[in-house]
Amino acid sequence: MRKKRIVCFGDSNTWGYDPARGARYDESVRWTMLLQTLLGSEYQIIEEGQNGRTVANPDPWEWGTKCGMDYVLPMIETHNPFDLLIIMLGSNDLKKKFHLPAADIAGSLQNMLMKVRGYATYQLGCPELKILVVSPPALGSELEKSPFAAFFDCDDAPGQAQELARWYAMVAEQFGCEFFNATELVSGGEVDQLHLSPDSHRKLAEALRDKIRQII
């Protein structure tokens, strides 16, 4: 029997960035691989996380390689067939250099979903592709103390991160996607206020396990 394949498309919190070491959490810690363990052998988790990835903003200081909109179509074609696409992006779009409120980031997600829905339908022959939109983790309340503080408006970004959940829920409904509010569940850890602690990776994995079992 074919395994149920799930593609996890996200940024550094999907890649599994460990802020204490500046490296990657191992498979026993990051939520994607914990999810694999929790779901069991009937499922296959495909990791597609990248540090610095945005929804739709090319970043010249990141070699122009971080724009999710540019990568999403070849990515879904590469992994086709699969049963569920999880999208958890938006935190990097909050950076000061982009000057975007939550509503505009959600507009970028709208455009991404239009591309994915059209391509899946007409190119991949998957008009009923299931998509789970996950609002990204909240930013820590002490963002100004983060080593990444210079990249964010520390007075505004945490509030905009909270607002993303409301806007993402509306976009998910518009495109017939499932939605999960991770913003209320987990937030950036003490080390840098942006990246998940091991405990938060586990909480996210456990919650998404239950959500996924309702979907596929």
DSSP 132-192: EEEEPPBPPTTGGGSTTGGGS-TTTHHHHHHHHHHHHHHHHHHTT-EEEE-TTT-B--TTT
What distances in angstroms separate CA 6 from CA 38, 45, 49, 85, 131, one per listed residue?
13, 5, 13, 6, 10
**pLDDT at position 174:** 97
Domain boundaries of the chain, sorted by first residue: 4-215
Q: How far is CA 73 from CA 70, 78, 91, 152, in A?
A: 7, 9, 21, 29
- pLDDT tens digit string along 3-53? 999 999 999 999 999 999 999 999 999 999 999 999 999 999 999 999 999
Reported as half-sphere exposure (CB side, CA atoms, 13 A), residue 195 has a value of 27
Q: Judge if pTM exceeds 0.95.
A: yes
- DSSP letter (8 states) at residue 193: S
Residue 59, Ramachandran bin (φ over 0: left; ψ between -120 and 50: alpha; else beta): beta
Question: Which CATH architecture is the domain 4-215 placed in?
Answer: 3-Layer(aba) Sandwich (3.40)
Per-residue pLDDT of the chain (216 residues; tens, 9 = 90+): 799 999 999 999 999 999 999 999 999 999 999 999 999 999 999 999 999 999 999 988 888 899 999 999 999 999 999 999 999 999 999 999 999 999 999 999 999 999 999 999 999 999 999 999 999 999 999 999 999 999 999 999 999 999 999 999 999 999 999 999 999 999 999 999 999 999 999 999 999 999 999 999
